[in-house]
Chain A
Amino acid sequence: MLMKLALIGSIAGGVTAGLLAWRERPEPGAVPLVSLMAGQCWWSAMLIFRMEATTLGTKVFFANLTWPGVTIIPVAWLLFAFEYGGYDEYTTRRHVFVISVIPAITVFLGLTDPYHQLLYLDAQLVEQNGVLTLARTPGPWFWVIAVYTYVLGFLGLLPLLEFVTSQVRTFRGQSLALLVGLLAPWVTNLLFLFDRLPTAGIDPTPVAFTVSGVAYLYALTRFELFGASPTPIRHARRSLYKQMHQGALVLDTRGTIVDMNDRAASVLKTTPEDALGKNLETVSPDLATTGETTGPKKGVFTPPGTRESYDVSENLVTDIHDRTIGHVVTLHDISDLFRMQQRLEVLHRVFRHNIRTNIQVILGQAGYLATHNSQQKAQTLKENAIEIAETGEKVREIIDVFEQGRKDRENLRLHDILRECVDATAQSYPEVDFDCDPGPEAILVDSLFDIVCTNVIENAAQHNTSAEPWVRVSVETGVETATVHVEDNGPGVDANELTLVEDGTETPLKHGSGFGLALTAWGADIAGGAVEFESSGSGTQVTLEMPVSGRK
């Protein structure tokens, strides 16, 4: 009675699990799992009918009818393991046919056993504990199918073992639940075959499938057996994405992150341990909504709170049946290109504005000079022409900084940079009082800071209209950074000019705005440093933070 109840429970669990798996088609592994559950239920049902039967002939009939269920299980198990593990090249019709040959022969031999006795040599009714049971002596083919079943079972274990040690908790859980589901009936069957179970000659293997049913249901519900599938991993690894410099994420068809490289984790400010098994929308809503809502993802992704930009592209991962089983999303760092494009746009805008303003003044003055003789107008004309030349010179310097940004640069002593810069500027502006503390001699910094520091110190002196102008330069050094402070008592920097150096910011242009500050800000950024301006009506303080490249 207990055995019968257990078998009924096994059928109820098996049918339920099978239908839940059926819903998940065409997810990899769904159809084989349905077949496996169907085989289990058939086996259990036939066993109940065999137990209920009272004559030898009826018991043998139902015992022989068990074979379709018994033999479909290992085939379905192997195909499930192949699909689940991403080895779907072994699930073609040809492979399924080859794997199914021995089970098909077994089913045929089972239904025709009385004529050849290859499966069982004899059959008789035996009374055990007051119950009539069927006792049969296994024939030669019985051992063929028994060994074949265990071989397929073992082969199916291999892809799962790969995921038991997976760093993704979900996949570890799935694999362990599936292994428990497999091992329970296998162990039970082995114990029965070697007569180690007191079940009065009744094979309790289908009962053990109750455990399988529970394990599979647990894998389905707790570990989202078909919701988070590791199937695409192997295909994606073929693309050697681990070696890519770009960030790469592998998503299954539901958008669950099933693998990612370290670069992608770094971009998304997460770790693979945290992100794997979660939906992309949870890990990075901004990336999930980047690009078109339909079709492959394509667009520019800016992680929140950063100035980084990534070109996002998405490729489908398909199996050999051309079914989409996942997606690979790559993140190509275009921060520099993107920032450079923004800078060139600003540069272009300011350049055109300044040149146009100067030319308008020149044309106006030239018209006046054509009919009048005015020294003042001629002087204005000359000043504007000089401004055009200076604008050209500044643009050349900025372009030079951009070019140097693309090259390998040498390191210079910060002490020497500041000392030479202050000396040269002091010669050009003798009315300005300089106070310079260039810091320790050994600090090495990127040579681009030569241009940046020169520009800052020159501007501090050149535009200082104070009655007693002064410029103070000082250095603070840390382990990894050096900070240069440049203070002056000039009129301060216009707020509009400060906003101009912020990338991509559109501001109303004023004549002469932008170039000096832009050169300072962009040069510092390209060299890996940062710059801050604090300006008031009584002066400006520029703080330049630069990475220390070494000490010499």
Chain B
Amino acid sequence: MAINPWNTNDSSVSNRPIRAFLHRLGKPVRDFLLYSSAYLAFIAVAEVLIVTKLLALPLSPAPVVAGLLTFAVYGNDRVADVETDEQTTPARTAFVKRYHRPLYTLSAVAYGLAVALAVLGGPVAFALALVPGAVWVAYAQDWLPFSGSIKRLKQVFILNSVLVAGAWALVIVFLPLAFVGGALTPRAGIIFLFFFLSSFVRAEIPNVRDQSGDREIGVKTLPVVLGIRGTRYALYGVTSLAGALLITALVDNFLTLSKAVWLLISLTYLSCIIAGLGRIGSDGRLTIAGECSRLPLLVLMLPPLF
């Protein structure tokens, strides 16, 4: 290759120390946000804000509680699955192994704060705050004291994702309702179903990346059982169901047009991610993109929210 002696690229040379400093500063923060799944806590906060707006509820501590719960549950899950995740997510596993004690302690503190704050929302909010913890115990731990006799729920086909999606949707939708003592309206039910179905899709997207690891440890997921192509079709089906639900709700006046369109945009974004499964090289980025699938919705709703 010919070298042009006049092209010294001065700016990049002079910026190198600054870039190195920013890299050094940024990497630990990025690693923490990504590998501890703290970013999921922010997504949970965003989703509760979206539900608050969709159900026209006043602001409450619910988003903070949901964020803390999410951080706690996923932090615990990362620590519990550190051995089985080694093959599928080596960088994250290395981070979790290195910081497993502080990560577990932070998760415990976050859950303690979440439950304590949830008590302010009344008995229902308190019970909802206990749900993710209970599901986490059932999901990632052997049952006590019957360990060995009951199969880990995590290994049961479909039920594993149903549990995750159910717990997630339950907290996201009903926590803000519980905090303000809101009524269980049909609109709340529809929003819950929508979030349940789309969360189910989101729960299955990372399973494409984890396919070989899950097969080795005997966990049955859609990609393990149906293959990647079959998984795409199955997830298109679930997404279509969620779309049909939104259209029905719109027709029956349970949702306004603008809100239905916002949710459909989020659903379209999710469909694009499903289309990329097995076709785009980085399944890890698709996983994060899937987890962030509701962020465009938040951006659309943010100005009127505040």
Residues of A within 8 A of B (CB): 7-9, 11-17, 19-20, 23, 25, 31, 41, 44-45, 48-49, 52
Contacts and interface: CB of A to CB of B under 8 A. Distances in A.
A207 to B, nearest CB: 13
A15 B116 contact: yes
Q: Give the residue among B108, B112, B115, B122 with the most A Cβ atoms within 10 A.
A: B112
A19 B105 CA distance: 8
Given A15-B115, A23-B104, A45-B126, A8 B109 contact: no
A19 B108 contact: yes
Contact of A19 (B107, B117, B119): B107
Main secondary structure, interface of A, reads: helix
In the complex, the 5 A-B pairs of residues with the closest C-beta atoms, listed nearest first: A16-B112, A19-B108, A15-B112, A12-B116, A11-B116
A19 B133 CA distance: 10
Contacts of A49: 119, 122-123, 126
B119 A48 contact: yes
A456 to B, nearest CB: 64
Nearest to B127: A45
Contacts of A7: 119
A13 B116 CA distance: 9
Contact of A20 (B108, B120, B123, B126): B108
Interface in B89-122: 104-105, 107-109, 111-113, 115-117, 119-120, 122
B105 A12 contact: no
B13 interface: no
B144 interface: yes
B122 A52 contact: yes
A97 B163 CA distance: 33
A378 to B, nearest CB: 82
B180 to A, nearest CB: 14
A546 to B, nearest CB: 58
Given A19-B107, A23-B104, A8 B112 contact: no
Contacts of B120: 8, 48
B123 A12 contact: no
Contacts of A12: 109, 112-113, 115-116
Contacts of B107: 19
A9 B111 contact: no
15 contacts: A7-B119, A8-B120, A11-B112, A12-B115, A13-B112, A15-B111, A15-B116, A16-B108, A16-B109, A16-B111, A19-B104, A19-B107, A20-B108, A49-B119, A49-B123
Given A8-B116, A13-B112, A19-B112, 4 more contacts: A11-B119, A15-B112, A15-B116, A19-B107
Interface in B142-198: 144
A8 B105 contact: no
B32 to A, nearest CB: 20
Interface residues of B, number: 18
A79 to B, nearest CB: 13
Contacts of B108: 15-16, 19-20, 23
A13 B108 CA distance: 10
Contact of A8 (B76, B117, B122, B144): B117
A11 B120 CA distance: 11
Contacts of B105: 20
A20 B117 CA distance: 19
Contacts of B109: 12, 16
Contacts of A48: 119-120
A202 B120 CA distance: 18
Given A8-B120, A11-B119, A45-B119, A31 B144 contact: yes
Given A16-B109, A19-B107, A11 B122 contact: no
Interface in B125-148: 126, 144
Contact of B112 (A14, A31, A52): A14
A97 to B, nearest CB: 14
A310 to B, nearest CB: 35
Contacts of B119: 7-8, 11, 44-45, 48-49
Q: Give the residue among A8, A15, A25, A41 with the most B Cβ atoms within 10 A.
A: A15
B78 to A, nearest CB: 13
A41 B115 contact: yes
A41 B119 CA distance: 10
A44 B117 CA distance: 13
B147 to A, nearest CB: 10
A8 B119 CA distance: 8
Contacts of B116: 8-9, 11-12, 15
B115 to A, nearest CB: 5
Contacts of B104: 19-20, 23
Nearest to B115: A15
Contacts of A52: 122
Q: Give the residue among A13, A20, A25 with the most B Cβ atoms within 10 A.
A: A20
Contacts of B113: 12
A45 B104 CA distance: 24
Contacts of B112: 11-17, 19
Contacts of A41: 115
Contacts of B126: 45, 49
A356 B230 CA distance: 84
A16 B113 CA distance: 8
Nearest to A52: B122
A19 B112 CA distance: 9
A11 B115 contact: yes
B229 to A, nearest CB: 41
A27 to B, nearest CB: 14
Nearest to A16: B112
A45 B105 CA distance: 22
A216 to B, nearest CB: 13
A8 B104 CA distance: 21
Nearest to B72: A19
A20 B126 CA distance: 20
B296 to A, nearest CB: 34
A236 to B, nearest CB: 26
Nearest to A11: B116
A107 B306 CA distance: 47
Q: Give the residue among B105, B108, B120 with the most A Cβ atoms within 10 A.
A: B108
Nearest to A49: B123
A16 B122 CA distance: 20
A224 to B, nearest CB: 12
A110 B136 CA distance: 31
A517 to B, nearest CB: 58
A7 B115 CA distance: 12
Nearest to A4: B120
A11 B116 CA distance: 5
Nearest to A15: B112
B117 to A, nearest CB: 7
B16 to A, nearest CB: 42
Q: Give the residue among A7, A11, A16, A17 with the most B Cβ atoms within 10 A.
A: A16
B113 to A, nearest CB: 5
A522 B112 CA distance: 69
A463 to B, nearest CB: 68
A14 B112 CA distance: 7
Nearest to B110: A16
B1 to A, nearest CB: 52
A83 to B, nearest CB: 14
B111 A19 contact: yes
Q: Give the residue among B105, B108, B116, B120 with the most A Cβ atoms within 10 A.
A: B116
A451 to B, nearest CB: 64
A13 B112 CA distance: 6
Contacts of B144: 25, 31
Contacts of A23: 104, 108
A52 B122 CA distance: 9
Contacts of B76: 19
